[in-house]
Structure 1
Amino acid sequence: MAKPSDQRHEALAGLLGLGTHSARKSHYPELLARLEELETERNRYKWLFEHAVHGIFQASLYEGLRAANPALARMLGYSDPHEVLWTLTDLANHLFVGGEAELRVIRDQLREHGGLFGYETRLRRKDGSHIDVLMNLLLKPDEDGLVEGFVADITERIQAQQRLQTLNDELEQRVAERTRELEALNQQLREARDAAEAANLSKDKYLAAASHDLLQPLNAARLLVSTLRERPLPEAERTLVERTHLALEGAEELLTDLLEISKLDQSAIKADIDTVCVDELLVPLASEFQSVAQSAGLQLRVRIPKQLAVRTDMRLLTRILRNFLSNACRYTERGGVLLAARRRGTRLRLEVWDTGMGIPADQLQAIFLEFSRLDSGRAAERKGVGLGLAIVDRIAGILDCPVQVRSQLGRGSVFSIEVPLAQTVLPGPRAEAVLRPVTGDPLPGRRLLVIDNEESILHSMAALLGQWGCEVVTAVDAATAVRELDGRVPEVILVDYHLDHGETGCTALKELRKHFGQVPAVMITADRSDECRRALQSIGVPLLNKPVKPGKLRAVLSQLLNGV
């Protein structure tokens, strides 16, 4: 009869699948293999636990640490993991820097969320120092209050962050200090700039005053010498007069160029773009340089398209063309000069041709530099300082119009500038008027009024105009002019812009026209400012700059008197 104990063993053997001896014998190798696998897995996890780089521990929410690996012990400064198996009270006192309060927060988070990941905190080491760690804590759901944790030492990372923050703070401080230094330097620069602008303004005023004071006696001398040049003189005296004329002309060009390039360098000259009739632009230039070319033994020819207009600043473009014509007459020994305009699509090319000595190819760009001169031909007799084409280059830049030059040695040169054509066509004087001779006609017998506050200029102007056959009345202001005329009406009024006692040529002309009607007038001034130019534009009076060129004066008077 079987014993009860045998029955229990059989039941357990049946539960395990080993109910009979044969069954035990057949399943034993498989069970042994399973047990060996479990042992191998346990040993592997044990090896990982003991040799892990980061700290690993197991703890109870109610009792404290149950197990810890060597890495956690070393991290906290202990040699044996058993030394860190603290109770809850010891954890609060010996491990967490935050003490009981931090431990309470950790327990609440685990109970509420079942885990705490990426939690950064500070732990206390055995020697009392602190380390920064990153914890991942997991509350095992099937075991009451059992927590498994993983701890990584992030002290170096935190220290690096702190060093980086310190460097950032230092950098911000240095930037702030540098900013304050730059602001102080900028303030100094602003003060220096203001001082420089004030000095430039003072210099501009000085140049304006100096130019007026210098050009006044120079103008008188030029007029007197021009009067002598037109008189029959012995050969020796004529030679002296011609040399004086050349010297005064050189002084005038030098002073005028220095003043103008100074204004250009200070960006004091601005373009006033308007629609300009080509005839209105070129006819006065041709009339002015006709006598210049004749006195040099040259022929001036003109080719001007009819009924064309351009968009430009007439004053600045005239300055460029006048330089081209002046150089052409100066550097040409024989032959002639051609002033021409050629249409090129939407632009008009204004050209000045000469039959002079030409320019070497290696100097075609250098001639536009300051103080560049060609010492050849007639120019050798009256050298300038080489600023003319430098002024042309700057003015062309202001107008945004290209200047070109072509030349052949021994055959001549061509200087040109292209300007945009206007859409509308303005009526202007006919080009045939250019070829009108500028002799004494129509000047003889004409009554001219000259107003200037400089007695020397009045005497010089009276001598020149009187030699041209004019009846000349001179005065220093409008009131004196009315008395001197004594009811006689002048046919042309020549008036200086700056008069005494704050009076200007504009106010004097307005007063005279109240007495004599709309008499043609010419304004003469050494003032080259934009303010003066705008004032004259508003009353529509032609302008002659001092020193006055006799040829240009004769041409302007002839045009005005032909219209009377």
Structure 2
Amino acid sequence: MKKPSDPTSTGYDIGDLLGLSSQSARKSYYPALQERLEELEQERNRYKWLFENALHGIFQANLRGGFLACNPAMARICGYDNPEQLQKKVIRLREQLFCSAAEFDQLRQELLDHGSLSARETRLRRADQTPVYVALTMLRRPDLGPEVVETFVADITERVQARQKLEQLNAELEKRVEERTEALQNVNVDLRYQIEEREKVEQELKVAVNAAKEANRSKDKYLAAASHDLLQPLNAARLMISALQDSQLPEAENRMVHQVHRALEGAEDLLADLLDISKLDQQAMKPDLTCLNLAAMLKGLGEEFEAVATNAGLQFRLRVPPVSLRTDPRMLARIVRNLLSNAFRYTREGGVMLSVRQRRDRLAIEIWDTGVGIEAHKLQDIFTEFHQLLPQGTGGRQGVGLGLAIVERMVRVLGYGIRVTSRPGRGSRFEVSIPLEHRVNEAWRSQSPAGGATHGNFDGLAVLVVDNEPAVLESMAALLEGWGCEVFPADGESSALDMLSEGLVPDVILADFHLDNNATGCEAVYAVRRALDHDVPAAIITADRSDEVRTLLRAQYLPILNKPVKPNRLRALLASLAAPST
């Protein structure tokens, strides 16, 4: 039994601290304790390695004194050989490490207030007493002492030097800018004079531009007048000549009438071409897209040119499969008509073929001829206005070189393409390429604007003709009466209504668009229909070729025929209007 005075009875060894009250217990816990101690030793060695090999400086210090610990990188930053030398030489951070005691005091107060600071730029004193620029990230450790801190130090000397160099360059640049500014201010005196002169020139240019715009407006007004006032008498003359051609005349007079007809036809085509080329150049002609039965339109054109082929002793073949497009019928008909006219004009023997073929990615309208052909280096020039590249005397009436220029511009407006291949002495092929996205699936059966001539008679067909030009009324009456129609001419809406009160019930109404006193043919048509309480078939015949008028008439479902009127087109229009009642 142990005595109370035995030293072992009152003290505690390591086993008691760890709860190991016996030798056997110590033996059982010893392996785990040894393993934990080894892990702690490995961890300590790892942190020690990181501490000693870190690229940035790391130190622990007391703000009231000096370093408690530092790594080799910190010694290198401060210009010392090793950490021990740094700790030995610097025993007061405020006076020996920091270049500015005021900055140190500010940092110390901030650490005491907030406990940490991050990336604070300052200067430290190296061993040779030169400053080194650093960025400090500091953390206060009150658990180790009231003013113990741990700090990461990054050497930013290169960055500061680069910044200083940039500031120097900026200063030099500002100086140069000031010098240049002074030079520019000296030049401004001369520039002000030049600017004043330029403003005078610009003002003169504005006056010139306004004058040009006014000239364009005057030209537009002239073209509008030409499209109506000049075409009106031409229309009357064409109708009268057509009536004479249908009558029985001696051979000499008949030849003279035919020559006058060709002269009027040439004047009409020239004037129409000039109007169209002007509108296309001013981008005033916009496509009016609608669904079109292409086959019906091309067959109508084929009938129109069949007579031309017969008179010229040429063959004319048409190969058109059923197909429908979304396009501008008037512009597409004008394109094909111009190409056919060009083919017949320069073909003396052989023939012309109009065909439609579907390529892989497009629909191709092709016009083939066996004419004189075109030399390869002139193929692009033929689309320039007023160019006559083919020799005179190559058959047919010579044009003025606008037909193909109109074709090229209309093709471009519609978003199509055109190609031409030719061999001199063998013939030419013109191809209008239409992208397949313009094709529609429905088999449209709409009436083509280029409808063909109808060779039947109109015996007894009552036609009410409304026009404010007496010459047009007279010539229209002569032509229609020659076809067997019974014509009732009226110079306006009131005259037409007076005829209705006398018992007239017309089968067809043909009305000019522009009447006297700003009245329109549409108003006259509607007045007649209201008076009869019946939708009498009607069409508008006008010299106004503007898109506004065409859009208006399309919205009112009234067919349109442009002056000067070609007899075969008028016959086709009259046949389509009279069809429901004949």
Q: Same fold (TM over 0.5)?
A: yes
Task: Give 1:510's match in structure 2, choosing from 512, 518, 526.
Answer: 526
The residue identity in structure 2 corresponding to 1:523 is I
How far residue 216 of structure 1 moved from its aligned partner, in angstroms, is 0.7
SS of residue paired to 2:535: coil
1:557 aligns with 2:578: no
Provide the C-alpha distance between the structure 2 equivalents of 1:139 and 1:311, rounded to a whole number of angstroms: 87
Provide the C-alpha distance between the structure 1 equivalents of 2:561 and 2:394, rounded to a whole number of angstroms: 25
Task: Give 1:286's match in structure 2, choosing from 277, 291, 302.
Answer: 302
How far residue 417 of structure 1 moved from its aligned partner, in angstroms, is 0.6
Provide the C-alpha distance between the structure 2 equivalents of 1:313 and 1:192, rounded to a whole number of angstroms: 37
Provide the C-alpha distance between the structure 1 equivalents of 2:422 and 2:333, rounded to a whole number of angstroms: 22
SS of residue paired to 1:418: strand
The residue identity in structure 2 corresponding to 1:291 is A
1:401 aligns with 2:421: no
SS of residue paired to 2:285: coil
Q: Who is 2:36 aligned against?
A: none
Residues 271 and 399 in structure 1, CA contact (< 8 A), matched pair in contact too: yes
How far residue 506 of structure 1 moved from its aligned partner, in angstroms, is 1.1
Provide the C-alpha distance between the structure 2 equivalents of 1:330 and 1:294, rounded to a whole number of angstroms: 13
Q: Who is 1:538 aligned against?
A: 555
Q: Who is 1:37 aligned against?
A: none
The residue identity in structure 2 corresponding to 1:530 is D
The residue identity in structure 1 corresponding to 2:515 is L
Residues 323 and 389 in structure 1, CA contact (< 8 A), matched pair in contact too: yes
How far residue 389 of structure 1 moved from its aligned partner, in angstroms, is 0.5
Residues 347 and 370 in structure 2, CA contact (< 8 A), matched pair in contact too: yes
How far residue 527 of structure 1 moved from its aligned partner, in angstroms, is 0.5
Q: Who is 1:456 aligned against?
A: 471
Query: Could you say if the C-alpha distance between residues 113 and 180 of structure 1 is closer, same or farther in structure 2, counting changes exceeding 3 Å?
Result: farther
Query: Could you say if the C-alpha distance between residues 203 and 112 of structure 1 is closer, same or farther in structure 2, counting changes exceeding 3 Å?
Result: same
Query: Could you say if the C-alpha distance between residues 443 and 278 of structure 1 is closer, same or farther in structure 2, counting changes exceeding 3 Å?
Result: same
Query: Could you say if the C-alpha distance between residues 171 and 320 of structure 1 is closer, same or farther in structure 2, counting changes exceeding 3 Å?
Result: farther
Cα-to-partner distance string for 1:142-179 (whole Å, 9 max, x where unaligned) = 99xxxxxxxxxxx9998985454121354478689588
Cα-to-partner distance string for 1:273-315 (whole Å, 9 max, x where unaligned) = 3332223532432343333333434444322222x22232222
Provide the C-alpha distance between the structure 1 equivalents of 2:498 and 2:128, rounded to a whole number of angstroms: 128
The residue identity in structure 2 corresponding to 1:229 is Q
How far residue 470 of structure 1 moved from its aligned partner, in angstroms, is 1.4
SS of residue paired to 2:308: helix
Q: Who is 1:330 aligned against?
A: 345
The residue identity in structure 1 corresponding to 2:217 is L
Provide the C-alpha distance between the structure 2 equivalents of 1:229 and 1:221, rounded to a whole number of angstroms: 12
Provide the C-alpha distance between the structure 1 equivalents of 2:361 and 2:172, rounded to a whole number of angstroms: 73
The residue identity in structure 1 corresponding to 2:329 is M
How far residue 316 of structure 1 moved from its aligned partner, in angstroms, is 1.6
How many residue pairs were aligned?
424
1:198 aligns with 2:222: no
Query: Could you say if the C-alpha distance between residues 465 and 536 of structure 1 is closer, same or farther in structure 2, counting changes exceeding 3 Å?
Result: same
1:340 aligns with 2:351: no
Task: Give 1:428's match in structure 2, choosing from 433, 445, 450.
Answer: 445
Query: Could you say if the C-alpha distance between residues 506 and 169 of structure 1 is closer, same or farther in structure 2, counting changes exceeding 3 Å?
Result: farther
Residues 442 and 562 in structure 1, CA contact (< 8 A), matched pair in contact too: no
Q: Who is 2:369 aligned against?
A: 354
How far residue 224 of structure 1 moved from its aligned partner, in angstroms, is 1.3
Residues 292 and 446 in structure 2, CA contact (< 8 A), matched pair in contact too: no
Residues 508 and 538 in structure 2, CA contact (< 8 A), matched pair in contact too: yes
Cα-to-partner distance string for 1:519-542 (whole Å, 9 max, x where unaligned) = 222211111111111111112222
Residues 287 and 552 in structure 1, CA contact (< 8 A), matched pair in contact too: no
Cα-to-partner distance string for 1:5-29 (whole Å, 9 max, x where unaligned) = xxxxxxxxxxxxxxxxxxxxxxxxx
Provide the C-alpha distance between the structure 2 equivalents of 1:156 and 1:324, rounded to a whole number of angstroms: 72
SS of residue paired to 1:450: strand
How far residue 232 of structure 1 moved from its aligned partner, in angstroms, is 2.8
Residues 463 and 509 in structure 2, CA contact (< 8 A), matched pair in contact too: yes
How far residue 375 of structure 1 moved from its aligned partner, in angstroms, is 5.1
Query: Could you say if the C-alpha distance between residues 437 and 322 of structure 1 is closer, same or farther in structure 2, counting changes exceeding 3 Å?
Result: closer
Provide the C-alpha distance between the structure 1 equivalents of 2:392 and 2:580, rounded to a whole number of angstroms: 39
Provide the C-alpha distance between the structure 1 equivalents of 2:517 and 2:169, rounded to a whole number of angstroms: 87
Residues 339 and 352 in structure 1, CA contact (< 8 A), matched pair in contact too: yes
How far residue 503 of structure 1 moved from its aligned partner, in angstroms, is 0.8
Q: Who is 2:39 aligned against?
A: none
1:168 aligns with 2:181: yes
Provide the C-alpha distance between the structure 1 equivalents of 2:169 and 2:306, rounded to a whole number of angstroms: 93
SS of residue paired to 1:444: coil
Q: Who is 2:292 aligned against?
A: 276
SS of residue paired to 1:472: strand
Q: How does 1:103-142 map to 2 (within 5 A)?
A: 112=102
SS of residue paired to 1:501: helix
Residues 292 and 551 in structure 1, CA contact (< 8 A), matched pair in contact too: no
Query: Could you say if the C-alpha distance between residues 266 and 397 of structure 1 is closer, same or farther in structure 2, counting changes exceeding 3 Å?
Result: same
Residues 379 and 420 in structure 2, CA contact (< 8 A), matched pair in contact too: yes
How far residue 237 of structure 1 moved from its aligned partner, in angstroms, is 1.5
Residues 226 and 464 in structure 1, CA contact (< 8 A), matched pair in contact too: yes
Residues 310 and 348 in structure 1, CA contact (< 8 A), matched pair in contact too: no
Q: Who is 1:301 aligned against?
A: 317
SS of residue paired to 2:516: coil
Provide the C-alpha distance between the structure 2 equivalents of 1:156 and 1:367, rounded to a whole number of angstroms: 65
Task: Give 2:486's match in structure 1, choosing from 462, 471, 475.
Answer: 471
Provide the C-alpha distance between the structure 2 equivalents of 1:229 and 1:354, rounded to a whole number of angstroms: 30
Provide the C-alpha distance between the structure 2 equivalents of 1:288 and 1:447, rounded to a whole number of angstroms: 25
Provide the C-alpha distance between the structure 2 equivalents of 1:278 and 1:534, rounded to a whole number of angstroms: 21
Residues 288 and 555 in structure 1, CA contact (< 8 A), matched pair in contact too: no
Query: Could you say if the C-alpha distance between residues 337 and 483 of structure 1 is closer, same or farther in structure 2, counting changes exceeding 3 Å?
Result: farther
Provide the C-alpha distance between the structure 1 equivalents of 2:447 and 2:547, rounded to a whole number of angstroms: 29
The residue identity in structure 2 corresponding to 1:476 is D
SS of residue paired to 1:272: coil
Indicate the percent of aligned positions where both proteins have the same amino acid.
Answer: 48
Residues 526 and 547 in structure 1, CA contact (< 8 A), matched pair in contact too: yes
SS of residue paired to 1:261: helix
SS of residue paired to 1:559: helix
Q: Who is 1:234 aligned against?
A: 250
SS of residue paired to 2:292: strand
How far residue 364 of structure 1 moved from its aligned partner, in angstroms, is 2.1
Residues 291 and 438 in structure 1, CA contact (< 8 A), matched pair in contact too: no
SS of residue paired to 2:488: strand
Provide the C-alpha distance between the structure 2 equivalents of 1:140 and 1:345, rounded to a whole number of angstroms: 83
Structure 1 unmatched ranges of 5 or more: 1-108, 115-136, 144-154
1:389 aligns with 2:394: no
The residue identity in structure 2 corresponding to 1:518 is D
Q: Who is 2:542 aligned against?
A: 525
Provide the C-alpha distance between the structure 2 equivalents of 1:220 and 1:277, rounded to a whole number of angstroms: 32
The residue identity in structure 2 corresponding to 1:386 is G
Q: How does 1:145-156 map to 2 (within 5 A)?
A: none
Q: Who is 1:149 aligned against?
A: none
Provide the C-alpha distance between the structure 1 equivalents of 2:531 and 2:169, rounded to a whole number of angstroms: 101
Residues 238 and 261 in structure 2, CA contact (< 8 A), matched pair in contact too: yes
Cα-to-partner distance string for 1:192-234 (whole Å, 9 max, x where unaligned) = 4444333322321221013311111111111111222223322
1:488 aligns with 2:504: yes
Provide the C-alpha distance between the structure 2 equivalents of 1:519 and 1:420, rounded to a whole number of angstroms: 39
Q: Who is 1:499 aligned against?
A: 515
Provide the C-alpha distance between the structure 2 equivalents of 1:340 and 1:299, rounded to a whole number of angstroms: 14
Provide the C-alpha distance between the structure 1 equivalents of 2:220 and 2:284, rounded to a whole number of angstroms: 10
Residues 279 and 429 in structure 1, CA contact (< 8 A), matched pair in contact too: no
How far residue 401 of structure 1 moved from its aligned partner, in angstroms, is 0.8
